[in-house]
């Protein structure tokens, strides 16, 4: 069943009003007809199953049939901080990371990041990343749409760390030395509702200076198994491990 995210103002007196791109998608892409059913979610609030009543390319209305319980979110909030990678790798990280349960994405300019974005380009990129997150959240039946921030400087990343309950850094050198305990220990220390920041370097990894600055802020270095993972693969490892620890094991 097709799912759409809506604002709280779009759900009034058990009537849902859908406008803009989602209305176009329902009428012109999916070619739905009255009496078809969809799922609509107010992020972090209500999820409803509803039946379409009126359809046009600009406005779609639907009547609520059922309020649906939603337990699709990870018990902890995980934000992925990625050193800006080349090409469209961050699009992949946002899309698949959303499907795997990430709560937010924070790109940052690392010392070894090749990509350089001015404010105008960064804003356009962030808009695209946020759209990708919304579509992936709808596809994967998420209850929220992860936030995707505009890229920040490394110093800004350091300043954000205290806002989280824990911070770990996926560090290649830790993996090479056989470090295997920190990720599990971090998961074990976190309770439901807490916030975890996970930092990943770009293709060339984090510099020693960056690692020292992160650990000075309380971040813990961890390896992600015996194999060295690409910058676009490592976040999926952590999110899958979190799902196993908090959802499957629980």
pTM of the model: 0.88
* CATH 3.40.1280.10 intervals, the chain: 77-248
The Cα–Cα gap between 223 and 27 comes to 48
Angle at 159 between CA 154 and CA 161, to 5 degrees: 100
The segment(s) of the chain belonging to CATH 2.40.240.20 are 3-67
Residue 140: Cβ within 10 Å count: 15
Q: Are 143 and 128 in contact (CB under 8 A)?
A: no
pLDDT score recorded for residue 120: 85
- Contact in structure between 210 and 94 (CB atoms under 8 Å): no
Q: What pLDDT is attached to residue 173?
A: 87
Identify the CATH homologous superfamily for domain 3-67. Hypothetical PUA domain-like; domain 1 (2.40.240.20)
Write down the pLDDT at residue 48. Answer: 94
Residue 6 has pLDDT above 70, yes or no: yes
Q: May I ask the CATH architecture of the domain 77-248?
A: 3-Layer(aba) Sandwich (3.40)
What lies within 8 Å, CB to CB, of 58 at 6+ separation is: 19, 23, 24
With H, G, I as helix, E, B as strand and everything else as coil, classify residue 152.
strand
Query: What values do phi and psi take at 227, rounded to 5?
Result: -100, 150
Q: State the pLDDT at residue 140.
A: 94
Each residue's pLDDT tens digit, 152-182: 999 999 999 999 999 999 998 887 888 889 9
100-138 per-position pLDDT tens digit: 999 999 999 999 999 888 888 888 999 999 999 999 999
Q: Answer positive or negative: Cα dihedral of 172, 174, 178, 183.
A: negative
110, with CB counted inside 10 A (0-12, 13-18, 19+), is buried
What is the rounded (10 degree) CA torsion for 141, 237, 155, 149?
Answer: -20
Using an 8 Å Cβ cutoff, are 55 and 28 in contact? no
- Where does the pLDDT of residue 250 fall: very low under 50, low under 70, confident under 90, or very high at 90 and above? low
Q: What angle, 0 to 180 degrees and rounded to 10, lies between the N-to-C axes of helices 119-139 and 89-99?
A: 30
């Amino acid at each position: 069943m097709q799912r759409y995210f809506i604002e709280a103002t779009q759900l009034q007196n058990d009537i849902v009003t859908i406008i803009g791109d989602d209305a176009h998608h329902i009428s012109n892409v999916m070619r739905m007809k009255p009496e078809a059913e969809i799922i609509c979610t107010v992020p972090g609030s209500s999820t409803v199953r509803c039946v379409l009543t009126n359809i046009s390319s600009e406005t779609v209305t639907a009547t609520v049939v059922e309020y649906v319980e939603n337990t699709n979110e990870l018990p902890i909030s995980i934000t992925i901080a990625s050193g800006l990678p080349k090409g469209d790798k961050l699009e992949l990280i946002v899309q698949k990371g959303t499907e795997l349960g990430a709560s937010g994405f924070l790109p940052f300019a690392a010392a070894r990041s090749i990509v350089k974005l001015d404010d105008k380009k960064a804003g356009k990129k962030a808009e695209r990343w946020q759209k990708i997150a919304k579509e992936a959240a709808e596809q994967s039946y998420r209850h929220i749409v992860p936030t995707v921030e505009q890229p920040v400087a490394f110093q800004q990343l350091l300043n954000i760390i205290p806002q989280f309950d824990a911070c770990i850094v996926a560090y290649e050198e830790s993996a090479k030395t056989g470090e295997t305990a920190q990720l599990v220990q971090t998961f074990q220390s976190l309770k439901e509702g807490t916030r975890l920041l996970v930092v990943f370097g770009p293709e060339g990894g984090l510099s020693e200076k960056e690692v020292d600055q992160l650990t000075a802020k309380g971040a813990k270095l961890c390896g992600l198994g015996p194999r060295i993972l690409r910058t676009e693969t490592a976040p999926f490892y952590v999110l899958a491990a979190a799902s196993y620890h908090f959802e499957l094991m629980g």
